[in-house]
Amino acid sequence: MGHRAGLRQLPPFRELHPEVRKALEVARCAAAPSPIYAVGGYVRDLLLGLRNVDIDLVVEGDAIAVARRVGQRLNIAVTPHPRFGTARLRLSEGITLDLATARSEQYPEPAALPEICPAPLLADLARRDFSTNAMATRIDRHRFGPLIDPLGGLEDLQRGQIRVLHDRSFIDDPTRIFRAARFEARYRFAIARDTLRLMKAAVRGRVIRNLAGPRIFTELLLIGKEPSAPLAIRRLSDRGVLAALHPNLAELPAAFGLLERMRRVLARSRSLPLLQSPSPGEAYLHAMLYPLHPRTVVAVVRRLNPPRRIAEKLVADLDACRRTARQLARAVDLRQSRMARLLDPLSPEARVVVLASLERGSKRRAVSRYLTYSWKIMPELRGKDLRHLGFPPGSLYREILAALRSAKLDGHLGTREDEVSFVRRRFARAALQD
């Protein structure tokens, strides 16, 4: 299962991206004489031999001060978060460096945000979500130190299992239920038996109810960014987590086919230039909500309580998807110009939902062809050409250019000359009138 066969030692520095190597060395110097550690998912993925561009570093001291020194040395901006004692630096090529002060956490009440206080590294590891995410290694001069693994993370990584570190873990922080499904699906790991029991007990104990909507929303978006999102969503559904969000989400199994088709659409869209790339996180959320009654959609969105702009977009997009699906269901004319009229006004996410919602057949082919190929087709003539042809500037241009594009989309216009004669023929009167 998963990557167990590929499990390896921490790599030598020469195997790291040069940018990362340099940043680690600079961070080590900036923290000296205190030690600095790589921790969490970054260490997990080093052991799995997987690329991870989000580097988490921990110091037993003032991480923000260390981050400022790193920023100065590398001449890059630092974004500090004083409340959490953390700071972020963005290196090139999407690499981020997060520095944190080692801390322990107290949960004032279930599912609330924790109160934090500085602590030794080992306490910082013990407050983490899963054993596989609770390993560290010191950054030594030009190499990683030995693996620091007080909680059995390496063994769990070898077994391919996700295990919480204490019995209250899911009660303290129910977002871990979502995180577990995400890692389970991403690495094809199993949830350890005791951990699954604790998770189910927590869901039965209604911990999800106490969880703030935006935190759930964030977790769902993170899941949607994973190529394995449908599996993670299925697991959440099987465990009654989604039904705990809203009873009507219990109907989600009906949408599994749609989620799977969405996975294929998004996978293809990574290699094909789609008419504007959709955000995968949002696209999956759309797909989850699409089969629900509009009133239920509004209720679920209210529960998730995302930023207002996003909430409004979600509801509007889903309305537009349903409308477009109805129009498509009735459509006899499947020309590309018709597809343009149907799909151009939609958001990128709504477009992929429409595509994923179609079963195999001529309609799906027409939509797919438009989104992956035809959308690029534009007339050669521009406004200035219309002026040369004697058309007075004005709102007519928009009409002419739209007509040109439609005709071109439907294969009636090959060359620039074709376009010129089309415009002369079709809009002759308009040109003469003025």
Rounded to a whole number of angstroms, the minimum distance from the CB of residue 154 to ligand ATP is: 14
Toward ligand ATP, which CB reaches closer, 133 or 347? Answer: 133
Q: Do 342 and 245 form a contact (C-beta atoms < 8 A)?
A: no
- In terms of CB distance, is 185 or 423 closer to ligand ATP? 185
Q: Which residues contact 346 (CB under 8 A, 6 or more apart)?
A: 317, 320, 321, 324, 354
Q: What is the DSSP string of 201-217?
A: HHHHTTGGGGS-HHHHH
- Cα separation, 395 vs 383, whole angstroms: 11
Least distance to ligand ATP, CB of residue 151, Å: 11
Task: For residue 166, give both structure tokens.
Answer: 């204490």
The total of other beta-carbon atoms located within 10 Å of residue 141's CB is 9
Instruction: Find the shortest distance in angstroms from Cβ 95 to ligand ATP.
Output: 13
Question: CB-wise, 79 or 276, nearer to ligand ATP?
Answer: 79
CB of 89 to ligand ATP, least distance (A): 15
Q: What is the DSSP letter of 164?
A: B
Looking at the Cβ atoms of 41 and 379, the one nearer to ligand ATP is: 41
**Smallest gap, in angstroms, from Cβ of residue 131 to ligand ATP?**
10
Could you identify the residue written with the tokens 């570190």? 165
Smallest separation, CB 215 to ligand ATP (Å): 9
What gap in Å lies between CA 16 and CA 8, rounded to an integer? 14
Instruction: Please say whether the beta carbons of 170 and 198 come within 8 A.
Output: yes
Residue 33, phi then psi, degrees to nearest 5 = -85, 0
Contact 321, 295 (CB under 8 A): no
Task: Give the CA count within 13 Å in the CB-facing half-sphere of 68.
Answer: 7
For 431, counting Cβ atoms within 10 Å of its Cβ (0-12 exposed, 13-18 middle, 19+ buried), the class is middle
Q: Give the C-alpha separation, 280 to 87, whole Å.
A: 27
CB of 181 to ligand ATP, least distance (A): 12
Closer residue to ligand ATP in complex, CB, 54/380:
54
**Gap between the Cα atoms of 331 and 132, Å rounded:** 52
- Beta bridge partners, 58, equal 37, 100
Residues whose CB falls within 8 Å of the CB of residue 230, separated by 6 or more in sequence, listed in order: 256, 259, 260, 262, 263, 284
176 vs 405, beta carbon nearer ligand ATP: 176
Report which residue's Cβ sits closest to ligand ATP: 41
Nearest approach, Cβ of residue 91 and ligand ATP (Å): 16
Task: Give the tokens for residue 230.
Answer: 């449908």
Distance between CA atoms of residues 47 and 7, nearest Å: 6
Closer residue to ligand ATP, CB minimum distance, 185 or 358: 185
Q: Which residues bind ligand ATP (CB under 6 A)?
A: 40-41, 52, 54, 56, 128-129, 133-134, 173, 175-176, 179
User: Least distance in Å: CB of 374 to ligand ATP?
Assistant: 36
Q: What is the distance between the terminal CA atoms of the chain, rounded to a whole angstrom? A: 74
In this complex, which beta carbon is closest to ligand ATP, that of residue 54 or of residue 251?
A: 54
How near is the Cβ of 64 to ligand ATP at its closest, in Å? 17
Q: Which residue's CB is nearer to ligand ATP, number 179 or number 286?
A: 179
Closest approach, Cβ 378 to ligand ATP, in A, equals: 39
Cβ proximity to ligand ATP: between 161 and 347 the closer is 161
Helix axis angle, 294-304 to 308-330, nearest 10°: 160
Smaller CB distance to ligand ATP: residue 83 or 309? 83
Complete DSSP assignment for 19-69: HHHHHHHHHHHHHTTS-EEEEHHHHHHHHHT----EEEEEESS-HHHHHHH
